[in-house]
Structure 1
Amino acid sequence: MLATREYETHDRVLHALLERAAVSGRDGATAAEIVLSAMLPAVPGVTGRVIRAARASTGGGGARRGVTGGGASADEANADVQATVIGHLWEQVRCFPLRRRHHVAANLVRETQRAALRSFGVDHVQAAAEVSSVDDDAFRGALAQPEREVAASEELLSVLSWAVARGLLDERGQAVLTRRFFGDRAGRDGVATDRQVGEELGVSQPTVTRWRNRAIAALADAAEEYPGGDLPWAS
């Protein structure tokens, strides 16, 4: 089906499967496996772009200066990155924001690539030209006119600001979440680590971890009252 150019059909079928993939239990896992299998032709292209972007960001061009470090051969590096890409693709399939009904395959490819880039410490903006391209012709048309979607970080900021304005989050929670998700420092996964937040606040890493867990739990509770919270938000 994905080998055709019937992009509206792609969207309907993939979205129906993703709705199943979002539920717990064996049915959800089976639907996710079907989507993952259908999207596997896009994995080599994503893997290649992630490798090139990671090498470009570190200034390393040789096979032994790629993503996996000094002792890895090119084949080993490719296998490691491909495994990571498949893992992120699985995650995107299980957590896909179901309000996105158009360009479903393209969104899966794009978000998988962004997640993989972040996992290797590369800002996807640094590889914008690579992110917007797809090697497989079957997906190229779907990327031609992507929809304007609200990023998960924008949604999180909106919910966080709303919770703070209503006094649903204490000062510690505000400080930790603000520095973690919207501060100047970032770890390998694109957000500040508890150690980095602790250095800014002058407290230990375990303390920040406790504060963060409590703050996220409080924000999750508050989000149930957030206007529009019944929608499948990306965050």
Structure 2
Amino acid sequence: MDAVQPTLVTRLNAEWEWLCADRGNADRVRSWMLDAGVLDEDQAPAELGELCTLLRKRSERDEPEFSDAWMGVLLRRVSAGDGRDAELAARVLVQAMLPLACRMLRDCVRSGESSEDVAQVVIASLWEVVRTYPIARRLRRVATGLRMELWHRVSRELKRELAPSEHLDEAWVAALPGGVEPADAVEPVLLARAAEEAGLRAAASAVEELEGARGEMVALLVWALEREVLTTEAASGICDHYREGAVQDAAAASAWGVSPVALRRRRSRAVSRLRQAAPQWAEAA
């Protein structure tokens, strides 16, 4: 990516400073958090930037329930579509997720593509994810859900909006595992990040495998974990079994501390649940 920050990101950061300078914005967001019991009166800074920094730091330190609480407050405002409040709530969430979007942007830009063009795709996807997140149905693991939704949308939109580049810059190529074709590397790298976030660390560590049918399967497993269709254990079992060079069931069962028969039954149940849910994934893709 260009050393210069994309203009769109610069504008968002400048706009954020302007929003923070308006005390009314801080008062509104602060009152939402106090009314919901997310923060106590003596905990909540009066300045919007400081308040949001506190929420992010607490999210990193505390259990996921804290992220669910404050992000849920904002997402319910967004989904209510109540004019200025909905716009402000969405804007706070966009700013909170902007560092993630910028990291994704850096991963996506290939030689011959403009960072400005990719930024348009990533930031537009971020706004869409914030505005459409189904908070009424998905109250838990909200931060993870938002990140996964952003990965899915960016991955789809880059395919749709930007033509494949013939080559990647040298730094990107040097970072790729052996055997990965540069022109095909963007989606597997994003998928590896999503797999790691979802808990499929074995898949995340083998970027070179995340293409074709294997990539589609891992993308489905990431989706299934985010929707809580499968547990991490069940998804990992499927991911480890259906791959080239997979260990035999006896060895895998020993590693899991179960019998081979129990392992096969567990995997069969997981595959059945995945098969039932797959049409929903296909519809969302």
- Greater C-alpha Rg: 2
Normalising by structure 2, we get a TM-score of 0.39
Return the TM-score normalized by structure 1. 0.46
- Between 1 and 2, higher relative CO (CA 8 Å, sep ≥ 6) is seen in 1
